[in-house]
Amino acid sequence: MNTDWHELIHRYIAGTTSAEETTALQEALKTDANLRALYLDYMNLDVALEAKAEAAEMILPMERVVFPQQQSWSDWLFWRPLTAAAAGVAFGLFCASVAWAYVVPSLGKVITLLQESFESGPAPLVTGVPIDPGRWSGDYTEVVGEQKGVKPASGKKMLRFLRGDFEGRSIPSSHSSDVFRLVDVRPYRREFADGGAVVQLSAVFNATSFPEDENFSATLTLFALDASLVGNEVVKGENVLSTESLAFSRSSRVGIDRDPASWQKVSNELRLPPGTEFLMLRMGMSNDTKSKDKRRDSFAGHFADNVQLVIARRPEIPVP
Shortest distance, CB of residue 79 to other proteins, whole angstroms? 5
24/123 with CB nearer other proteins: 24
Cα–Cα distance measured from residue 41 to residue 49, given in angstroms and rounded to the nearest whole number: 12
Alpha-carbon span 66 to 81, nearest angstrom: 15
Positive or negative, the CA dihedral 217, 222, 228, 231 is positive
Choose, by CB under 8 A, the member of 24, 50, 64, 295 that binds other proteins: 50
Residue 317 within binding range of other proteins, rule CB under 8 A: no
Q: Which is nearer to other proteins, 102 or 223 (CB)?
A: 102
Does 167 bind other proteins (CB under 8 A)? Our answer is no
Task: Please give, one letter per residue, the 3-state secondary structure of 132-187.
Answer: CCCCCEECCEEEECCECCECCCCCCCEEEEEECCECCECCCCCCEEEEEEEEECHH
147 binds other proteins (CB under 8 A): no
Residue 33: CB minimum distance to other proteins, A:
8
CB 42 within 8 A of CB 55: no
263 binds other proteins (CB under 8 A): no
Binding status of residue 57 toward other proteins by CB under 8 A = yes
Count of Cβ atoms closer than 10 Å to residue 85 Cβ? 8
Closer residue to other proteins (CB): 80 or 156: 80
User: Considering only residues 186, 258, 265, 295, which one is a binding residue for other proteins as defined by CB under 8 A?
Assistant: 265
Task: Determine which residue in the list 83, 209, 232, 291 makes contact with other proteins, applying CB under 8 A.
Answer: 83
Count of other CB atoms within 10 angstroms of residue 264? 17
Q: What residues pair up with 108 in beta bridges, in sequence order?
A: 104
| Start-to-end CA span in the chain (Å) | 71
290 binds other proteins (CB under 8 A): no
Q: Does 95 bind other proteins (CB under 8 A)?
A: yes
The reply on whether position 93 binds other proteins by CB under 8 A is yes
> Do the strands 298-313 and 278-287 form a parallel or antiparallel pair, or are they unpaired?
unpaired
The smaller minimum CB distance to other proteins, of residues 27 and 167, is found at: 27
In the bound state with other proteins, the residue whose beta carbon lies nearer, of 42 and 289, is 42
CA distance 282 to 241: 10
Number of residues near other proteins (by CB under 8 A): 59
Q: Which stretch binds other proteins (CB under 8 A): 99-107, 136-144, 170-178, 284-292?
A: 99-107
Rounded distance between C-alpha atoms, residue 104 and residue 107, angstroms: 5
Q: Which of 32, 60, 79, 273 binds other proteins (CB under 8 A)?
A: 79
Binder of other proteins out of 4, 34, 61, 74 (CB under 8 A) = 74
Instruction: Measure the CA–CA gap between 5 and 46, rounded to whole angstroms.
Output: 16
Gyration radius of the chain over CA positions: 24
Among positions 2, 106, 239, 243, the unique one binding other proteins when judged by CB under 8 A: 106
- For position 252 contacting other proteins by CB under 8 A, the verdict is no
Smaller CB distance to other proteins: residue 89 or 131? 89
Distance separating alpha carbons of residues 158 and 156, to the nearest angstrom: 7
Site for other proteins, rule CB under 8 A: 6-7, 10, 12-19, 22, 26, 29-30, 36-37, 39-54, 56-57, 70, 73-74, 76-86, 89, 93-96, 102, 104-106, 265
